[in-house]
Amino acid sequence: MTTAAEVLAAEHAAIYAYGVIGAHLTGAAATAARDAEAAHRARRDALGRQVIAAGATPTPADPAYALPFPVTDQASALRLAVQTEERTGAVWRSALATTSGDERQAALDALVDCAIRATRFRRAAGVTPATVTFPGRPG
């Protein structure tokens, strides 16, 4: 069961990752990373408003997050972007089971957005296939 706090934590982590990712990209890839970060910030903000409306306090972001590997160049930055979208998408996919109505639609929209961004970053990295069969599902 995925809670709003877990989804919010995933969005916080994605935003942090894009701070690192963006420092190693140029051109169209850098623009895509900025757009991805903005999308994650918008979802984080919407979740925060949802939590507040429910009478709770949103969990703040951690000061730092452990990255799964060193990011030192464009190739590793693109790899982290793909992994960030896959992991965030997996959390949103998990949220589908515990939501309904507008919240379920928001979770589905987020999963689709993550899958599209992951595909774009796979393509930029030259990864084939660029798509996966079931986005948000572990390997």
| CATH number (domain holding residue 100) | 1.20.1260.10
Domain membership of residue 134 (yes or no) is: no
Residue 131 lies in a domain: no
Contact 51, 4 (CB under 8 A): yes
The predicted model gives 65-76 an average pLDDT of: 97
pLDDT, one tens digit per residue, over 3-22 is 888 999 999 999 999 999 99
Residue 45 resides in a domain: yes
Q: Maximum CA pair distance of the chain?
A: 45
Q: What is the pLDDT of residues 78-129, one digit of tens each?
A: 999 999 999 999 999 999 999 999 999 999 999 999 999 999 999 999 999 8
In a domain, 117, yes or no: yes
Q: How many domains, the chain?
A: 1
Residue 23's SS3 state is coil
Residue 138 lies in a domain: no
Residue 136 lies in a domain: no
Residue 48 lies inside a defined structural domain of this protein:
yes
